[in-house]
Amino acid sequence: MKTVQHKFVDLIPDTLEEGVLYICIPYCTAIHKCVCGCGNEVVTPISPTGWTLSFYGDSVSLSPSIGNWSFKCRSHYFITKNKICHAYSWDDWKIILNRKQEEKEKQKFDKKRRKQRKQNVGGDALDS
């Protein structure tokens, strides 16, 4: 899915169509089905502490980004002028952080090993 259609509604419909961003002004809420196709409904309250809705006449933007961390898909995207821009998923960030952590651990381990090697100079190599 690359784009969404916006639809202003007075009431949030029981069944949501995929690719439609329903905007319910009386309830200050927008709702849509997760754009990855997992079928989960994403509720974005429009409030000073929630999301901001920008209406351009023919398209809408929601900010900040939508991060579906509580869903299995963990999708993360922006809706900007009805276009969906995928962002890093939380998993990607975790992977990056993990990699850094692993790198650190590896360096620590290498240092330890080098130390051990030095101590074993002249003796039997304990390098297995």
Q: Which residues contact Zn ion by CB under 5 A?
A: 34, 36, 38, 73, 75
Which C-beta is closer to Zn ion: that of 7 or that of 74?
74
Q: How many helices (H) and strands (E) would you count in the chain?
A: 1, 8
Give min distance, CB of 73 to Zn ion, in A.
3
Which C-beta is closer to Zn ion: that of 43 or that of 113?
43
Helix, strand, coil shares of the chain as percentages rounded to 5? 25, 35, 40
Which C-beta is closer to Zn ion: that of 46 or that of 73?
73
Give min distance, CB of 66 to Zn ion, in A.
10
In contact, 43 and 59? CB cutoff 8 Å: no
Give min distance, CB of 120 to Zn ion, in A.
54
Under the phi-then-psi rule, with left for phi > 0, alpha for psi from -120 to 50, and beta for the rest, what region is 37?
Answer: left
From the list 48, 47, 9, the residue with the least C-alpha distance to 31 is 9
Give min distance, CB of 72 to Zn ion, in A.
7
Which C-beta is closer to Zn ion: that of 41 or that of 103?
41
